[in-house]
């Protein structure tokens, strides 16, 4: 089969590899019908995530058709159309039972490595480094799905692939980011970063009835999409001061809830952003936290900061004094995708959300190297790329 | 004045050998290198002959003891399964090859409760120690000890207690061991402790996965771009 493989920093290739096979009784094999490049895949592309190995198959947003099931998978049939949550979870440990699927105790085969770095291991992920399991990803014609009895979500035939694909990651991720804000009808929610996750966070904040939603980015096209998603106010950080604009837009109180949909590769202007570039180049810090610093500074008193953006290692110069003095609450973590798929599918079926609004490019999987490069370099035009393996 | 010996026999022999090599090497050198080699050889020869090392005295070290001190490594895990089920599962050691990767049933032993502890070494070599079940407290603990007295493994002990939440079991796995060779053996045993702990942790995580999820997570045999022919 054809698969998109990582061979090093900025080196992604489409190569022919053997087809996957069932390795454990709860596995299934899925023939991928549609897959996407996630913003967090760019962290791999740019070489910021450790423990990648040459030849690893990329991709954690994908869906398709069941073509084979293991001996312990009784609730799926060959031919079922399924979306796969990007977090791999056993469904039976204490965390899965508590609906905290991305904290599954049992799905990371390299848990000992993760424990060394993080103290305790999170769940495994598809195509996202050996620290998080080393599982082959879904940017391929076929993929092995572990714990398929709980990790493959059946979708109805009357919805298209493009309508349901984003249930695998970015829609639940944006939704959980908004839900973590405990939004009240009078709340102002500010969202840093209008990439796919940020756009779904904005859409979800609107679904949860936030009074005011402020979108922050530097690309006009993305800010326009933020308006379509439900943003009431837009801030282009290259044209105005974010902190001053937030102050003005909120009557001097600052936003009640803030969402960091940026993560470890924050861009920015000024000393803080420059400091991060230098330290990251010198390998003195792993993550550029410029946006997070600004969020802590800009968030109103007693506010909540929700962080769906990915952080992988260490940052410094975080203004914890500001966070402490204002009594801020931080919520973060990989998405408990399984928890949200049912209710978000309902939103799609009822017409409350059309997830296709952010797709800008529809390509063949053969064009993956070109897509990765342009998705990274031309953010104003390339918002979301979906790829069909069969073309 | 006679000083108290503080260098062990093995170290004295090693010092003598090293001193000889330094003399041979030093005689081929000239100037400062020759002086340094021969003076170091002289110090090592003195150390070998007298059994006394002034540096050891200052550092309060003594390698003369022939006793190997036992060491203990342990780790723990909490499993979402009640103690009865967990105990029953572990008690059937013969069926646990996929979990306790260092435990294997003795092929020739028909005796109830006897297992083989096996350490897999590089180059496909392994080192085995037969163990027997010496204590079996239903739903509470299992203790294994070596069949022979000269084994480096002294005891493998499983302890089962109720976890913090309902339906959970805390499993403690303790390994007591010693390395022969007196002082040097004790130092090796001390260095090995993190590796022993990692081995215990790995086994406990596999046990937890098997009991909770019904299988052990794996990517062994998974496809990747490393298997394509044109890769380089």
B60 touching chain A per CB within 8 A: no
The helix (run of H) or strand (run of E) holding residue A48 is none
Model confidence at B113: pLDDT above 70: no
Is A139 buried (19+), middle (13-18) or exposed (0-12) by CB count in 10 A? buried
CATH fold label, A174-332: Rossmann fold (3.40.50)
**Band of pLDDT at residue B232, cut at 50, 70 and 90:** very low
For chain A, the average pLDDT equals 95
Model confidence at B106: pLDDT above 70: no
Write the pLDDT tens digit of every residue in B203-218.
999 999 999 999 999 9
**Band of pLDDT at residue A276, cut at 50, 70 and 90:** confident
In angstroms, rounded to a whole number, what is the distance separating the alpha carbons of residues A181 and A207? 13
Predicted local confidence at residue B231, as pLDDT? 46
In angstroms, rounded to a whole number, what is the distance separating the alpha carbons of residues A31 and A45? 25
Largest CA distance in chain A: 61
More confident residue, B179 or A102: A102
For chain B, the average pLDDT equals 86
Write the pLDDT tens digit of every residue in A338-350.
999 999 999 999 9
CB A338 within 8 A of CB A93: no
Angle of helix A170-179 relative to helix A337-349, nearest 10 degrees? Answer: 100
Write the pLDDT tens digit of every residue in B29-88.
889 999 999 999 999 999 999 989 988 888 887 777 767 778 899 999 999 999 999 999
Chain B residues touching A23 at Cβ < 8 A: 218-222
Is B214 buried (19+), middle (13-18) or exposed (0-12) by CB count in 10 A? middle
Model confidence at A98: pLDDT above 70: yes
Model confidence at A173: pLDDT above 70: yes
Distance from B41 to chain A by nearest Cα, in Å? Answer: 43
In angstroms, rounded to a whole number, what is the distance separating the alpha carbons of residues A286 and A314? 6
Predicted local confidence at residue B59, as pLDDT? 83
Write the pLDDT tens digit of every residue in A307-354.
999 898 888 889 999 999 999 999 999 999 999 999 999 999 999 899
CB A215 within 8 A of CB A234: yes
Portion of chain A with pLDDT greater than 70, in percent: 100
From A17, A90, A97, residue closest to B223, measured CB to CB: A17
Predicted local confidence at residue B189, as pLDDT? 83
Write the pLDDT tens digit of every residue in A157-168.
999 999 999 999
Domain residues of chain A, as ranges? 2-169+335-388, 174-332
Predicted local confidence at residue B111, as pLDDT? 66
From B215, B221, B228, residue closest to A26, measured CB to CB: B215
- Total Cβ atoms within 10 A of residue A111: 26
Predicted local confidence at residue B68, as pLDDT? 72
Yes or no: is domain A2-169+335-388 CATH 3.90.180.10? yes
Predicted local confidence at residue B121, as pLDDT? 67
Model confidence at B23: pLDDT above 70: yes
Chain A residues touching B217 at Cβ < 8 A: 24, 90, 106-109, 124, 133, 146
In angstroms, rounded to a whole number, what is the distance separating the alpha carbons of residues A352 and B117? 61
Query: Chains A and B: how many Cβ contacts under 8 Å?
Result: 112
Q: Domains of chain B, with CATH numbers?
A: 9-59 (no CATH), 71-213 (3.30.530.20)
């Amino acid at each position: 089969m054809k698969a998109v493989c990582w061979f090093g920093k900025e080196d992604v290739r489409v190569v022919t590899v053997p087809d996957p096979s069932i390795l454990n009784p709860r596995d299934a094999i899925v023939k991928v019908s549609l897959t996407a490049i996630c913003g967090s895949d760019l962290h791999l592309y740019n070489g910021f995530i450790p423990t990648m190995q040459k030849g690893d198959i990329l991709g954690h947003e994908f869906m398709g058709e069941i073509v084979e099931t293991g001996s312990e998978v009784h609730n799926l049939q060959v031919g079922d159309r399924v979306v796969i949550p990007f977090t791999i979870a056993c469904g039976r440990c204490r965390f899965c039972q508590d609906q905290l699927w991305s904290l599954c105790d049992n799905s990371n085969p390299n848990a000992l490595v993760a424990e060394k770095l993080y103290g305790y291991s999170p769940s495994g992920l598809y195509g996202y480094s050996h620290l998080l399991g080393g599982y082959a990803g879904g940017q391929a014609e076929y993929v092995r799905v572990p714990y398929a009895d709980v990790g493959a979500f059946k979708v109805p035939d009357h919805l298209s692939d493009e309508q349901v694909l984003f249930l695998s990651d970015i829609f639940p991720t944006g939704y959980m980011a908004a839900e973590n804000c405990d939004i009240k009808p009078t709340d102002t929610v500010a969202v840093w970063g209008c990439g796919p996750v940020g756009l779904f966070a904005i859409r979800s904040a609107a679904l949860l009835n936030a009074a005011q939603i402020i979108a922050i980015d530097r690309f006009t096209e993305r800010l326009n999409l933020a308006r379509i998603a439900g943003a009431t106010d837009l801030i282009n950080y290259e044209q105005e001061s974010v902190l001053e604009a937030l102050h003005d837009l909120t009557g001097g109180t600052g936003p009640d809830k803030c969402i960091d949909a940026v993560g470890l590769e924050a861009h920015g202007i000024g000393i803080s952003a420059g400091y991060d570039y230098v330290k990251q180049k010198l390998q003195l810090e792993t993550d550029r936290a410029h946006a997070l610093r600004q969020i802590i500074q800009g968030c109103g008193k007693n506010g909540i900061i929700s962080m769906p953006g990915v952080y992988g290692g260490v940052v410094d110069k975080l203004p914890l004094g500001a966070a402490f003095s204002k009594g801020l609450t931080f919520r973060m973590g990989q998405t408990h995708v399984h928890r949200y798929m049912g209710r978000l599918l309902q939103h799609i079926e009822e017409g409350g959300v059309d997830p296709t609004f952010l797709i800008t490019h529809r390509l063949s999987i053969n064009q993956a190297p070109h897509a990765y490069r342009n998705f990274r370099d031309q953010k104003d035009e390339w918002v979301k790329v979906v790829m069909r393996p069969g073309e | 004045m006679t000083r108290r010996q503080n260098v062990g026999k093995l170290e004295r022999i090693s010092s003598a050998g090293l001193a000889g090599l330094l003399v041979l090497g030093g005689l081929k050198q000239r100037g400062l290198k020759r002086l340094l080699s021969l003076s170091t050889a002289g110090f090592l020869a003195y150390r070998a002959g007298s059994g006394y090392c002034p540096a050891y005295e200052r550092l309060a070290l003594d390698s003369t003891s022939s006793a190997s001190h036992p060491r203990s490594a342990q780790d723990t895990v909490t499993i979402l399964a009640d103690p009865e089920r967990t105990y029953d599962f572990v008690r059937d050691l013969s069926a646990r090859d996929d979990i306790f990767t260092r435990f294997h049933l003795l092929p020739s032993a028909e005796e109830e409760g006897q297992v083989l502890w096996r350490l897999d070494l590089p180059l496909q070599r392994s080192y085995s120690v037969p163990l027997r079940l010496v204590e079996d407290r239903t739903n509470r603990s299992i203790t294994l000890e070596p069949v022979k007295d000269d084994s480096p493994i002294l005891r493998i002990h499983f302890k089962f207690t109720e976890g913090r939440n309902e339906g959970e079991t805390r499993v403690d796995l303790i390994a007591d061991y010693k390395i022969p060779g007196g002082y040097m053996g004790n130092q090796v045993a001390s260095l090995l402790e993190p590796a022993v702990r990692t081995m215990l942790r790995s086994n406990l995580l596999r046990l937890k996965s098997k009991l909770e999820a019904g299988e052990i997570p794996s990517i062994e045999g998974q496809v990747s771009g490393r298997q394509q022919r044109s890769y380089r």
